Amino acid sequence: MNVDDSQVEYRRNGKNCIHGLQLRNSTKPMVLLLHGIGSSADVWWDVLHCLVSAGYEVLAPDMLGHGYSSVPDCTKAYTFPSLLKDTIAIFDKYVPCTELGQCIIIGHSFGCSLAGALARYREQQVVQLVLISGGGPTPLAPPVSSTELSVFGCMQILMKPLLFCGMKRTMFYSSRGKHFNVCEPETAVPAYVLRYISEGQDWPEGDAAFHRRIFIPTLLVHGMQDTSVTLVQECEMERTIPRSFLEVIPAAGHMAMIETPEQLCHMLLCFFQWWTK
């Protein structure tokens, strides 16, 4: 499903734009933090404090059904297009729609897909992008059912531990796309919310062609202990996004912001400062 033009168009005229005045005193871009499935804005606690101490204004919303957000029992509310609309609405509310409005987006896991899409739809305002444990440049797809599991799919599962950057990558990619699971096993998110989000991961537009048109500086962060995302996938993402840079944290897994916050924060600040004009 595509996001309608009416939902991603800029609200430039005075009637629709809520940012008549400059709301922020900081000359630095605002930072928007987007978490993954099963977690909440709390996972950014150390990163948030680091960025605020460095003079950045930070916005860390809870995704629908997570943290302190509402938890409607409605399947359609948790599809990727619906969650993307929510993210765009938050962005438009807090990031000024003037030439003064600039934003850095940081996404984690499933939040990387939201971050990448938002960077494309708001490309005039998003100046930098950070994708942590986001995987390769492949579309989102619902989970594979038992009837769909093919012989080649079994080979992919068996060969996954053997993948390295020097091997032919595309032969191991699922033709259906990638699928994100819950980041934190002991989550307080209701089971029906997790099920709806899992089934709603359908974003065929998010392929390599889509990611090739992300032209802003992009930092890719991968934890070497990550069992959900492979280095191969991250290498392919680096090859796809024109101005992307891959950094690896040896001691981190899928949750670098919790496992190695100091290293991650150092990477972020260096990246922000390097590309400051």
CB contact at 8 A, 247 and 267: yes
In the chain, count of helices (H) and strands (E)?
10, 6
User: Catalytic positions, please?
Assistant: 109, 226, 254
Q: CB 259: neighbour CB atoms within 10 A?
A: 16
DSSP-assigned letters across all residues of 9-32 = S---STTT-S-SS-----SSPEEE
143-147: long-range pairs with CB below 8 Å, 24+: 143/179, 143/198, 143/199, 143/201, 144/174, 144/176, 144/179
**CA torsion, ordered 156, 84, 103, 96, to nearest 10 deg:** 170
Going by the DSSP 8-state scheme, the letter that residue 179 receives in this structure is -
Q: How many alpha carbons fall within 13 Å on the CB side of residue 232?
A: 19
134: helix, coil or strand?
coil
- The residue whose two tokens read 């062609």 is 209
